[in-house]
Chains A and B, each alone.
Chain A
Amino acid sequence: AQKITQTQPGMFVQEKEAVTLDCTYDTSDPSYGLFWYKQPSSGEMIFLIYQGSYDQQNATEGRYSLNFQKARKSANLVISASQLGDSAMYFCAMREGKDSNYQLIWGAGTKLIIKP
């Protein structure tokens, strides 16, 4: 079974609009972490935002915020005021494990294209 599901293979969004990228996850571990990464066409993997399972508030990093709904096991990324430079692949990932075994499990990604 998929542990991380990103249901939107691709999205087109008008510049300056807000965009929500969906991510649902599946785990029985009470302690976990959720990450969003951006991968532009150049290939590098850029960290955007992190949410811990015990964090009381939704994470925010500049124009990025994470809509964390624990009961629904959802961790959607919201990008406010989108820019042309936001066009990229976006990956949701989950960290499970303990005792320093902290590998990430990845979703299939969403390709976001910002239209001028």
Chain B
Amino acid sequence: DSGVTQTPKHLITATGQRVTLRCSPRSGDLSVYWYQQSLDQGLQFLIQYYNGEERAKGNILERFSAQQFPDLHSELNLSSLELGDSALYFCASSVGDRVYTFGSGTRLTVV
């Protein structure tokens, strides 16, 4: 157990639907990062939150949004889903810049 919890582990949904992925960071870590891993794009950074505030945005689509709550857990919302959104979505947390701990990921399949 890495200390970063992601739920659900698997998600199958239809095109056009909306889903929410949840991440609880490792205890004490203030930063949460979301990454998308797909076969054609590889691993891509989506967004970072630090202590509740958005800190950096990567290649995140407008259909996607995220937030970090006061208890530091984070949610990634994906809406108007398309087949191409099928991917493994990772959450990672860190304190400082040397240790990044990843959750086991949520595998999203859009059918």
Query: How many residue pairs between the two chains, A and B, have CB atoms under 8 Å in the bound complex?
Result: 57
The verdict on B8 contacting chain A, using a C-beta distance below 8 Å, is: no
Contacting pair A95 B45 (CB below 8 A):
no
23 A-B residue pairs with Cβ-Cβ distance under 8 Å, sorted by A, are A37-B102, A43-B88, A43-B104, A43-B105, A45-B90, A45-B92, A46-B102, A47-B100, A50-B98, A91-B43, A93-B43, A100-B31, A100-B50, A100-B55, A102-B97, A102-B100, A103-B56, A104-B33, A104-B35, A104-B45, A104-B100, A106-B43, A106-B44
Size of the B side of the interface (Cβ < 8 Å), in residues, is 26
Give chain B's interface secondary structure class. Answer: strand
Residues of B within 8 A of A43 (CB): 88, 104-105, 107
Q: Which residues of B contact A (CB under 8 A)?
A: 2, 31, 33, 35, 42-45, 48, 50, 55-56, 58, 88, 90, 92, 94, 97-102, 104-105, 107
Number of interface residues of A (CB under 8 A): 23
Residues of A within 8 A of B (CB): 33, 35, 37, 43-47, 50, 52, 91, 93, 95, 97, 100-106, 108-109
